[in-house]
């Protein structure tokens, strides 16, 4: 398993900012300290070039963000302050997912210790997301002839609205979003399959819904799964409003990964959301996902 990271690109945030930037470095260290991954498996993510950003995004939007001329209102929608370091962080987050997708085709499993930026639409960002790495990776690999069919399995607690709008006319990519029905975003454009779950959803309800939803994924016969493995359904999460236990999240990951492996479908994983306060339960949940992936696919 190859794992791409970009926590060496440190983005300064204002004091008290609610985005937990420290979680990326904490997970990187935990993977090594717990022996889930060896140093040789961890690779610094390359910065994605402008041309690949354009596979999923409007040229004017891309240019404005890269140049720092995006309207203040648009940056407020994203929720993070612009800086040259932030541009590098975004470009390497995108590059990590594209490289993880390519590596998964060779190795069966790979991951990006960032990404899952599913709230970015073609011409605007939102919800801490500037560009949509899932859409970029899917469209890039299909456009290059590497794949014919891809599935995005998005299990972040928030609906993948950007993925839905960017890929709505791309039948080669099946988009599944299993999310909190009343949670952000409040306008939810249709994915190929949306499963909205109630506030306070428990392990049993969640896993039953996921099992049914995955049947539609297998019918698509994907040659790659892009797994948005957000851990914000965790009960401790400050933005999730669900009640999943750490064990329940582990069963979720095991269901997706073991059934994909059984079918011979490669999986590229992205982190997605996680906002526990303190952040340690989020990092432990991310670590568990990688531990299960290594167990199922082999390290």
> Which residues are marked as active site?
119
Q: Where are the alpha helices (DSSP H) in the chain?
A: 22-33, 50-53, 59-67, 72-78, 84-107, 133-143, 161-166, 203-220, 246-262, 280-297
Question: Among candidates 299, 207, 198, which has minimal Cα distance to 248?
Answer: 207
Q: Dihedral, CA atoms, 35, 37, 39, 42, nearest 10 degrees? A: -150
Residue 197: enclosing H or E segment and its boundaries? Answer: strand 193-197
Show the 3-state SS of 257-292.
HHHHHHCCCCEEEECCCCCECCCHHHHHHHHHHHHH
DSSP reduced 3-state for 226: strand
CA distance 177 to 152: 8
Question: Among candidates 298, 245, 246, 234, which has minimal Cα distance to 272?
Answer: 234
């Amino acid at each position: 398993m190859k794992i791409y990271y970009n926590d060496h690109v440190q983005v300064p945030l204002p004091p008290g900012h609610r985005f937990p930037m420290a979680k990326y470095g904490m997970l990187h260290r935990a993977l090594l300290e717990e022996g889930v991954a060896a140093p040789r498996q961890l690779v610094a993510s390359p910065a994605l070039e402008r041309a690949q950003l354009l596979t999923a995004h409007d040229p004017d939007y891309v240019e404005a963000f890269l140049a720092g001329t995006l309207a203040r209102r648009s940056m407020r929608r994203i929720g993070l302050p612009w800086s040259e370091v932030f541009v590098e962080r975004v470009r390497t987050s995108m590059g990590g997912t594209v490289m993880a997708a390519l590596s998964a085709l060779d190795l069966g499993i790979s991951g990006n210790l960032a990404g899952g930026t599913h709230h970015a639409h073609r011409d605007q960002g939102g919800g801490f997301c500037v560009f949509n790495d899932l859409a970029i990776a899917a469209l890039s690999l299909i456009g290059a002839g590497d794949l014919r069919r891809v599935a995005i399995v998005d299990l972040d607690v928030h609906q993948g609205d950007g993925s839905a709008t960017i890929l709505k006319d791309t039948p080669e990519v099946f988009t599944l979003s299993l999310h909190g029905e009343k949670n952000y975003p409040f306008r939810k454009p249709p994915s190929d399959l949306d499963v909205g779950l109630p506030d306070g959803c428990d392990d049993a309800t969640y896993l039953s819904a996921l099992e049914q939803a995955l049947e539609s994924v297998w019918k698509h016969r994907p040659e790659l799964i892009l797994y948005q493995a957000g851990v914000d359904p965790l009960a401790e999460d400050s933005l999730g409003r669900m009640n999943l236990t750490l064990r329940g999240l582990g069963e979720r990951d095991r269901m997706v990964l073991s059934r994909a492996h059984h079918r011979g479908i490669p999986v590229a994983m992205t982190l997605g959301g996680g906002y526990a306060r303190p952040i340690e339960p989020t990092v432990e949940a991310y670590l568990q996902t990688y531990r299960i992936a290594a167990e199922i696919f082999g390290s």
